[in-house]
Amino acid sequence: MTDVSGDEPEYPSPSISDCRRLQGPNRYGPTPGAVITVVVADDAARRAVDHWPYAARRLTQALGWERTEFVARHSIGDATCYLSAPMDGLMTATAVAEMAWVESEAYVDQREVPDAAPSLRVQYAEECARHPHVRELAAGALSRGLAFSIDDEAVSVGSGRGVRTWPHGDAPPSASVAWNDVSDVPLIMVTGSNGKTTTTRLVAAMWRAAGATTGWSCSDGVFVESDVEKRTLGVGDYTGPGGARLVMRDAAVQAGVLETARGGMLRRGLGTTTAQVAVITNISADHFGEYGVHTLEDLAEVKAIVTRALGAHARLVLNADDPSLVALGERLSAVHAVPIVWFSMNADTELVADGIDVHGDGAVLHDGHLMLCREGVWGDSGRVNDMPVTADGAARHNVENALAAALTASCAGVPLSAVHVTLRRFGSAVHHNAGRLERYAFGGITVFVDYAHNPEGIRALCATAASVAATRRGLVLGNAGDRDDEQLRALARAAWSVATFDRVIVKEMVSLLRGRPEGELPALLVDELRRCGAPNDRVTISPSEFDAVCELLAWARGGDVLVLPTHAERGRVTGYLEQLRASGWRAGESLPET
């Protein structure tokens, strides 16, 4: 077989590029397990992938694991090999996956390797001793329809005010648990390519307007808010299962809203086994080439992992205007019992009507009003131009987010009055939706700050800014290095297709190079902008995000509109904008020191 080793390999075979535990429902199945990614460079490697399930089955039988599921999936240049595993054997499962691959390579090469089963038995016995009663607690929660979650520190059953959590080693037998005292609070999962954080914050605000102590996890952190206080449980990107568990394990929480991103689902699985509602906002090209995701259909399949936490009485909310989600809905309807309901910017969309006929719920935009159907009865949730989050209706992507949030909250049982009051006031203050379509007007200029990070997000941001009259328009452009070249070029094309900018400053973000050499990303974006027709004298490169923002502010004059997608230094950028506004700075004046 081809030797792909470079440095000393971390794994028992140099062709294994990744191995990870999946601690919850995942891309391959509803139960936890382990998955390896292997480099496939020749026919011998492809044959080894095909043999892997047989080798893995032999090892799991030696461990006494019953009803184990195996998946070996070929991709472009690599393959993934997955096995399900008991809750008390996830670390052992990673070793099983690796050693099954070693055996498969040896099988293809017709050579002998030592039998790994004896050492795996020892490893599994030690792991079980560290995690007593975990398997029976999981079974007890599952049989009662309750949430179960596990990580390296603890195990828990139930959620929010009905949760019970124990450190590993202290977990009791299932028979000792007072199951009548264990319960779940409403849990909502929010995923999609764009709009996740805004939708999460909107739904959380709707629960708060209903008086519920609400916990939510998102790309900015984990928060719990009640009538008397707002607590921060974590700061940073908590869109993976770790953020979900922090919300679920807080005993004050009465409702939870969990932003659920692609990366966390692929790396670790879901943080919960149950949810009442899940929403997928949209699907757009992003992160292709990672974890076997190469097409929009692949990406939709990943986002649909959230359905593995939905029972027969839950709701899946989908965007009827997104072709990838329409196709996903058709596939899910054939294999999954979860009810699907739809929202649309078009009042005549048949899918919305079909969902209402069967399940009673849906949402549409009609004559400029957000119309929400609950249990078969239509109601007017207000004029979208009067909803601050939509920027007088100009932010069409936030009209979609408002539709998604209103329908999702309604399906979760939020009173309609709380939905309506939230739509009327959310976005009226910057802190409501920090980092998402923040609009500043000071010094004679208008500035838009947003997290837009893929072509559709940039297109939506630039379109919103284009609705504002301007003397000139300026843009800061850049992205992280974990996108392929075509995705980066598409970002530049999307920005230039909406508006002809008078100045574009392409930013380098050293902290987000993700393995690329310095200078490569800006050069690629500049090249694509020039291909789109941007004059050479309008496009420059800046060494950092903050430097790019300052350069654009120094260029600005009264009447200009500036568009600032921020990713690496958002806090510093928004803090400086607030400083300029408070100081009375005017466009054309020298910039003050930071």
The per-residue pLDDT for range 345-382, each reduced to its tens digit, is: 999 999 999 999 999 999 999 999 999 999 999 999 99
Long-range CB contacts for residues 329-333, cutoff 8 Å, separation at least 24: 332/304, 332/307
Percent of the chain with pLDDT over 70: 98
Find the angle CA(528)-CA(532)-CA(533) to the nearest 5 degrees: 120
The per-residue pLDDT for range 311-355, each reduced to its tens digit, is: 888 999 999 999 999 999 999 998 877 899 999 999 999 999 999
Listing DSSP states for 108-121 in one string gives HHT------HHHHH
Q: What tokens were used for 513?
A: 């190079």
Q: Which amino acid is at 293?
A: V
The per-residue pLDDT for range 248-277, each reduced to its tens digit, is: 999 999 999 999 998 999 999 999 999 999
What pLDDT shows up at residue 5?
37
- CA gap 36, 530 in Å, rounded: 41
Phi-psi region of 177 (alpha: psi -120 to 50; beta: other; left: phi over 0): beta
Return the H-helix or E-strand segment holding 60. Answer: helix 43-63
Residue 285 has pLDDT above 80, yes or no: no
Q: How many residues are there in the chain?
A: 594
User: 10 Cβ partners below 8 Å, 6+ apart?
Assistant: none
Q: Whole-number mean pLDDT of the chain?
A: 93
Listing DSSP states for 336-378 in one string gives --S-EEEEESSTT-HHHHHHHHHHS-EEEEETTEEEEEETTEE
Label residue 287 by pLDDT band (50, 70, 90): low
Average pLDDT for 503-509: 93
Residue 519 has pLDDT above 50, yes or no: yes
Average pLDDT for 190-219: 96
Nearest to 259 by CA among 279, 239, 282, 233: 239
What pLDDT shows up at residue 436?
83
What pLDDT shows up at residue 439?
87
Average pLDDT for 378-400: 94
Residue 224 has pLDDT above 50, yes or no: yes
Most confident of 95-99, 236-240, 335-339: 95-99
Label residue 95 by pLDDT band (50, 70, 90): very high
Label residue 238 by pLDDT band (50, 70, 90): very high
Nearest to 365 by CA among 341, 337, 342: 342
User: 139 Cβ partners below 8 Å, 6+ apart?
Assistant: 174
What pLDDT shows up at residue 486?
87
Q: What tokens were used for 543?
A: 């060494």
Percent of the chain with pLDDT over 90: 79
- Higher-pLDDT residue of 291, 178: 178
What pLDDT shows up at residue 587?
93
Nearest to 234 by CA among 255, 24, 242, 204: 242
What pLDDT shows up at residue 1?
39
Q: Are strands 70-74 and 473-477 parallel, antiparallel or unpaired?
A: unpaired
Residue 10 has pLDDT above 90, yes or no: no
Q: Are strands 214-218 and 187-191 parallel, antiparallel or unpaired?
A: unpaired
Residue 3 has pLDDT above 70, yes or no: no
Residue 120 has pLDDT above 60, yes or no: yes
Residue 9 has pLDDT above 70, yes or no: no
Estimate to the nearest angstrom the gap between the alpha carbon of 26 and the chain centroid: 14
The per-residue pLDDT for range 463-478, each reduced to its tens digit, is: 888 888 999 999 999 9
